[in-house]
Amino acid sequence: MKTILQAENLVKVYRVGSVDVHALRGVSLDVEEGEFLAIMGPSGCGKSTMLHLFGGLLTPTEGRISIDGEDVTAASDARRTDIRRRKIGFVFQRFNLFPTLTAEGNLRLAERIHAGGRETAKNGDEHRREVLSLLKLEDKMHHKPLEMSGGEQQRVALARAVINNPAIILADEPTGNLDTENSAIVLNMFQEMNYRFNQTIIMITHNPEAAAMCRRIVQMRDGQIVAPSTGVQL
Amino acid sequence: MDNLVVNNIRQRPLRALISVAGVALGVALVMLFTGLSRGMSNDLQRRSSNLRAEIIFTRSGGMELTSSTANLSTKYADELHKVEGVESAVPVIRYVFQGGGGFGFEQIEGVDWDAYAALNAMQIVEGRAPAGVDEVVIDETKAQNNKTGVGETMSIFGGKPYRIVGVYAPESGARVKMSLAAMQDALQSPGKCSYILVKTKAGVAPEDVARAIDAAPTTKGNKIQFTRDVVTNVEKSIPYLGVFLRALVGLAAIVSALVVMLAMYTTITERTREIGVLKALGASRGFIVSLIEQEAFLISLIGLIVGFAVSLAAGYLIHRAYGLMFEYGWRWALVAAAIGVGGGLLGALYPAVRAASLDAVTALSYE
C-alpha cells in the first residue's frame, strides 16, 4: 500500500513572549492511502498543530513531512499553498463556509481555487450535483449556510473538501459543534467517502465514538504520540 | 447571483455605499471643477468670437477679469476714428458684480446700442433697445436660462431695479447691456468708459492699425489688445488655474483612494477568518489580492457612474440656480474615470496585500 503522508520527527516550538512553547516534541507518523485515521488526545497536546503542519499551514521547527511524495517542509510558502491546493481538503469544527455563498457557490469557489483562479470545467455543474447528492444535499444546493442546520453545513464543508478529489482530507474536530444525531450523519459520510472512494482521512476528535469509526487511532499527549497506533476492527 | 465579490458588497450595503460615495465625490469634484472652468472659458470664447471689432483699446487695469473700472475717457473714440485704418470705435463700460446667490460673478455693459449693434451685427429680437436710465436688454441665452424676458425686472447696482426692455441676438460680450449714458450715470463716471472696441477697415491688417494707434500722439501710451487674444488673456489672468486643477485632481484621487482603503481595511479585518479559510483551501496570494481588488474595482465602477451622474445633475442645478456654465469634455471624463477606478484599486492594494500576507492559522482562529 502507498504511503500518502510521511511525518518524521516533527518538532514545533512556538515563541510566546520570551517563552518557548513546545507544541510537538518529535512526532513521526506514516499514513497509508485510503486510511481513516483518528488523532485523539487532551486539549493542548499538539493535535491541531500537527494537522496544520500536515496541511502546510505551518512549518515545523524540525523534521520533515512528505505528502503524496512531495516534501512540504522544504517548500516555499507559495509551493506549500500549491501542494495544499492540489492535495489537501480541510474540514473544520466551525464549518467555515462562506456565509454569502450558497452550498453550490461554496463548492464552486473551492473548484475555482483548485483551478488556480480560472473558471471551472463545463461539466462542473454535474460533478457538484453528484457530490452534493452523495452527501444527501441535492435539495440544499441553492441554500446559504445560515439557511441550513449545523449537520447540513458540515456536510457542505465535507463536499467542499472532496470536490477536487484531494489526496488527503484533514478534519479538525468535524463533529465538535454538532449534536449526536448530526454527528452520526457526518461521521457516516466520512466513512462512506473512505470506503467508497478509498479517500484518505485524518481526523482530530475528542469523541471516542467518532474515533471508533476510524480504522486507526493515534493517541497524543504533551506533543508526542504516546500510544501505539491502534487498529480498529470495523 | 452566487458571486463572492458581489455578495460581499451586498452583505454590507452601508459600507459599500460610503465607499461608493467616496469615489463618486472624487469623480464629481474633478468633473464639476474642470467642467466649470471649461464651460466658463468656452462661454467667454463664444461671446468674444461674436465681437466683430479686432482691437480693444483700454488702459492698464481697465479690463481685468473681475474689475469694473471706468478709467478711460470716451473722447479717445473720436481720436481713434482719426487713426488711419479705423472704421469705427465704440466705447463700452463694463461693470462686474457678484452673481446671483453670491456665487461667481456677472458682467453688465454700458454701450451706445445703435453703434454697438451695428459693429457686431446684433439685433433686437424682442422688444426694443435700452434708452432710459433704468432700462436694460439681455441676450437670448440669459432670457432662456433665467426664464425672464421683456417686461420683467432685474436688480443691479445694489438692488436697484432695472426693466428688461429687449432681448438681443447673437450673444456678444456681457449678457446684460444698458445705455452708455445710463451706466455712466449709475457709476458716476460721466465721459468715461472701460474700453473702446475698434473695428478696422476691410483689407487693413489689425496689427498695422494697432501700430498706428500706438504711434498716434493722441492715443499712444494706452493698452492695445487684440480681440482674438481675450480668452487666452482671461485664462492667464487667473493665476495658476492649471496648477489648481491638477492639485484638485490629485486631491480627488487621494480622497477616493483613502475612502476605499479604509473600507477595504475594515472588510479585511471583518473577514479575517474567511481569508484563513481561503488560504486553507489553497488560495494563492495573487488570488486573495485579486478577490479584494475585484471588490474595490466594482465599488469604484459604481462610484464612477454615480460620480458622473452627480456631476451632470449638480452642473445642471448650479447652472439653473446661478447661471454658471458647465461643459464636460472627454479628456477630463477619462481623467476622472482613471482617478475613480485607479484610486479605488490603489487604495485597496494595501489591505489586499495585508490580507494575502495573513498567517493562515492565526486567521482561522480569529474571532
* Chain segment A6-40, per-residue pLDDT in tens: 999 999 999 888 899 999 999 999 999 999 999 99
CB atoms within 10 A of CB A66: 17
B316, burial (CB in 10 Å: exposed 0-12, middle 13-18, buried 19+): exposed
- CB atoms B282 and A82 under 8 Å: yes
DSSP characters for A145-175? GGGS-HHHHHHHHHHHHHTT--SEEEEESTT
CB contact under 8 A, A101 and B4: yes
What's the predicted TM-score (pTM) here?
0.77
Residues, chain A: 234
For an interface test with B, which of A53, A76, A81, A88 has the most B Cβ atoms less than 10 Å from its Cβ? A81
Name, in order, each residue with C-beta under 8 angstroms of A138's C-beta and a sequence gap of 6 or more: A129, A132
Of B46 and A165, more confident = A165
Q: Which residues touch B119 (CB under 8 Å, ≥6 apart)?
A: B52, B53, B88, B90, B197, B199
Using CB atoms, which residue from B7, B11, B280 is nearest to A90? B280
Nearest to A6, CA basis, from A84, A69, A55: A69
Determine the Cα angle at A172 with ends A25 and A234, to 5°: 95
Check residue B113 and give its pLDDT. Answer: 93
Q: How does the average pLDDT of chain A come out, rounded?
A: 90
What is residue B99's predicted lDDT score, i.e. its pLDDT? 62
Per the listing, cell 478534519 goes with A171
Are A139 and A129 a contacting pair, CB within 8 Å?
no
- CA B111 – CA B122 distance, rounded (Å): 13
Q: Do A110 and B290 touch (CB under 8 A)?
A: no
User: Measured over all CA atoms, what is the biggest interatomic distance in chain A, rounded to whole angstroms?
Assistant: 54
- What are A's interface residues with B at a Cβ cutoff of 8 A? 52, 55, 57-58, 78, 81-82, 84-86, 88, 90, 92, 96, 98-102, 104-105, 108-110, 113-114, 116-117, 160
Q: Are B134 and B155 in contact (CB under 8 A)?
A: no
Profile chain B (367 residues) by mean pLDDT over runs of 10 residues: 81 89 90 87 78 86 65 91 92 80 73 92 93 92 86 85 93 90 90 92 92 89 84 60 80 83 85 92 94 92 95 90 84 89 89 91 85
* pLDDT reading at A234 higher than 50: no
Hey, which bits of B40-186 come out as E strands? 55-58, 72-73, 86-98, 105-111, 123-127, 135-139, 153-156, 160-169, 176-179
CB pairs under 8 A between A and B: 74
Which residue type does A74 have? A
Is the pLDDT reported for residue A158 higher than 50? yes
CA B101 to chain CA centroid, nearest Å: 17
B42: buried, middle or exposed (CB in 10 Å: 19+, 13-18, 0-12)? middle
What's the complex ipTM? 0.91
pLDDT at A230: 54
| CB atoms B4 and A78 under 8 Å | no
Question: What is the rounded distance in angstroms from the CA atom of residue B260 to the CA atom of residue B15?
Answer: 10
Residue to mutate among A76, A96, A118, with most B CBs inside 10 A, is A96
User: Would you state the pLDDT for residue A108?
Assistant: 92
Cis check for the bond before A42: say yes or no (omega within 30 of 0): no
**Residue A24: predicted pLDDT:** 95
Q: Please give the residue of chain B at the shortest CA–CA distance from A100.
A: B7
Burial of residue A94, with CB atoms counted within 10 A of its CB: 0-12 exposed, 13-18 middle, 19 or more buried: middle
Secondary structure (DSSP) of B33-75: HHHHHHHHHHHHHHHHHT---SEEEE-TTSS-TT-----EETH
Strands A168-172 and A88-91: parallel
Say yes or no for a CB contact (<8 Å) between B281 and A117: no
